[in-house]
Structure 1
Amino acid sequence: MLVAEILKNKGDAVFAIGPDLPLTDACHELDRWRVGALVVCEHDKVVGVLSERDVVRAVARDGQPALGRPVSDYMTRNVIFAAPGETVAVLMGRMTDRRIRHLPVLRDGRLAGVISIGDVVKCQIAEAAREAESLRTYIAG
């Protein structure tokens, strides 16, 4: 399955914040939208990703004062992207190798969605179920 198909099924909603937003407000957004990461954008350009892991690292390193600092102090700046034409297998490899759980998707240089590890796993489970059903149908004749 391709990234474009996953986005077609799940939608292209992207929860984005600005780099100057205080970390505590970003935490409220993570909770509000029930997501594990937010895309950080500035002037319609992706400049980072803030994940739950980034928040944990911030608090572990700087304690409570981290919550008042801007997201830009803690976001992941070296963003790894996905493209609509890539396969789930390619994404699985990239996510595993890089130990990341969220990949923003760019289409023609513009943010088109976000794929999470949960989306990838759901896709793999659905594919395995389809294959099993196909085998059952074939065996049943």
Structure 2
Amino acid sequence: MPSSYQAPSRKDKIQEKTHSQTPVTNASTETATVGKILESKGKDVFSLRPQNTLHEAVVQLKEKRIGALIVKDAAGKLQGILSERDIVRRLAETPGQTLSQKVEDIMTRDVKTCSPGDQLISVLQTMTKGKFRHMPVVNGDIVVGIVTIGDVVNYRLQELEYESLQLKQLIVG
């Protein structure tokens, strides 16, 4: 007999089970909300005033590596949103004369907003239907963040990946 041999004991017959999940976690139906995205992404909101020039806006978009800016008045109240798409359209309409124009001349004034408690699916539907990629998140009259269609899709993909993992664990045991 090898020197490393140990005779079986009663403890060897007891099979311990570990559970990486419970019926509660498997049946969890937590609704994905805008607030969940803001928790992971942060609540930085880059903004400018209606009187700023498009040149100032373009510089900020480039430096911050973002696709849209919130437009607020001096009191901090939402006035509109300015996206890269807005600027490109104006560049096509007024070549060579665009960067000196004011933000208020081309910003989108009728801004669709959402709140932290809104469900992601409804926000995604609104963005898809309206054909825009950025939506300010407001709590009352205060802008508390901004979500992009990329944020929503990425969050949903992570959810699906997690659900897939849960199903695999359920099947494997």
With normalisation by structure 1, the TM-score equals 0.97
More helix by share: 1
Unaligned runs of 5+ in 1: none
- Once residues 57 and 70 of structure 1 are traced to their aligned partners in structure 2, the CA distance between those partners, rounded to angstroms, is 14
User: What SS does the corresponding residue of 2:98 show, helix, strand or coil?
Assistant: helix
Q: Given the alignment, which residue of 16, 30, 37 partners 1:6?
A: 37
Greater relative CO (CA pairs within 8 A, separation 6+):
1
How many percent of aligned residue pairs carry the same amino acid? 37
More strand by share: 1
Please give the residue correspondences for 1:98-137 in structure 2 after superposition, counting only pairs within 5 Å: 98-137=130-169
Matched with 1:139 is 171
Matched with 1:59 is 91
Q: CA deviation at 1:108?
A: 2.2
Alignment root-mean-square deviation, CA: 0.7
Q: Given the alignment, which residue of 100, 103, 108 partners 1:76?
A: 108
1:19 matched to 2:41? The reply is no
Q: Given the alignment, which residue of 38, 41, 62 partners 2:69?
A: 38
Q: Given the alignment, which residue of 97, 117, 129 partners 2:129?
A: 97
Equivalent pairs, count: 141
With normalisation by structure 2, the TM-score equals 0.80
- Once residues 40 and 51 of structure 1 are traced to their aligned partners in structure 2, the CA distance between those partners, rounded to angstroms, is 10
- The residue identity in structure 2 corresponding to 1:132 is S
Q: CA deviation at 1:64?
A: 1.6
User: What SS does the corresponding residue of 2:97 show, helix, strand or coil?
Assistant: helix
